[in-house]
Amino acid sequence: MAAPRTPAATAPIAPPSLWDPVVRLTHWGIAVAILCNALLTKGGGVTHVYLGWLAMTLLLMRLVWGVLGPIEARFSAFPPNPVAALRHMGQLLSGRVDHYPSHNPAGALMVYAFWVTLATVIATGLYLTGGATPMQVAADQAAVASGDWSALIKESDGESSDEDKGLRHTAEEVHDVAANLLLFLAALHVAGVFVESRAMRRNLVKPMVLGDRRK
């Protein structure tokens, strides 16, 4: 009589050797937009606003892809689970980690934290600019440079009350704190990828770039 099959006999779940193009585009596009706005652009400037709109577009694209994309890109493949994340961190310390078909539990928490923080930066940025598009910001700055101060006068009239000034000040504070938190989360993410790659003995950057072309 044949021995019954045990769960241990099932094949281990392999992580993706290559993320799909939408995941890779949104990942690297958002990373570039955040770093450029943090290090190279001036707050409220045309380039800063343009990159903010670009980051918003890429974030919305990724969220839609979390519903319509392939299995490993969907929210259902990496639900936020703090308990599982802590267990995974413990496995990292022991040098033995489980493999997942998508983000591991710790990585999943990082993804959601990053998205929420990025959404906060975008929302406060839209409030501070009055929802102006990069073209509108460029037109206003060009008008001011030519001596037409009407755009600034309109903004001043719309923010004359103490309540509006208080809201704007709060939005600026939240925007700055959230932007700094994004940089901290990005640094933590890079460190986590390094540690995870060492523990799994697998390059986790390759799947987010070009993948393992040998497979």
Complete domains list, the chain, with CATH: 17-131+161-209 (1.20.950.20)
Contacts of 72 (CB under 8 A, 6+ apart): 16, 19, 20, 101, 102
Res 213: pLDDT = 42
Res 180: pLDDT: 96
DSSP 146: T
DSSP code string of 74-113? SGGGS---HHHHHHHHHHHHHT-----SS--HHHHHHHHH
Q: What is the pLDDT of residue 144?
A: 62
* pLDDT above 50: residue 8: no
Give the pLDDT score at 154: 54
Q: Is a pLDDT exceeding 60 seen at residue 94?
A: yes
Q: What is the mean pLDDT of the chain?
A: 83
Q: Is the pLDDT of residue 139 over 70?
A: yes
Rounded to an integer, the average pLDDT of 5-33 is 76
Percent of the chain with pLDDT over 70: 80
> What is the rounded distance in angstroms from the CA atom of residue 122 to the CA atom of residue 118?
6
Of 51-60, 129-138, 172-181, where does mean pLDDT reach its minimum? Answer: 129-138
- Among candidate residues 49, 47, 48, 56, the one with its CA nearest the CA of residue 29: 56
Q: What's the whole-model pTM score? A: 0.82
Compute the distance between CA of residue 10 and CA of residue 182 in angstroms, rounded to an integer: 39
Encoded tokens for 215? 């497979």
Residue 147 has pLDDT above 70, yes or no: no
- Which of 32-41, 84-93, 176-185 is least confident? 84-93
Average pLDDT over residues 161-182: 89
% of the chain with per-residue pLDDT over 90: 50
Q: Mean per-residue pLDDT for 46-74?
A: 95
User: Range with the lowest mean pLDDT among 21-25, 43-47, 131-135?
Assistant: 131-135
Q: What is the pLDDT of residue 6?
A: 41
Give the pLDDT confidence score for residue 198 in this predicted structure.
Answer: 79
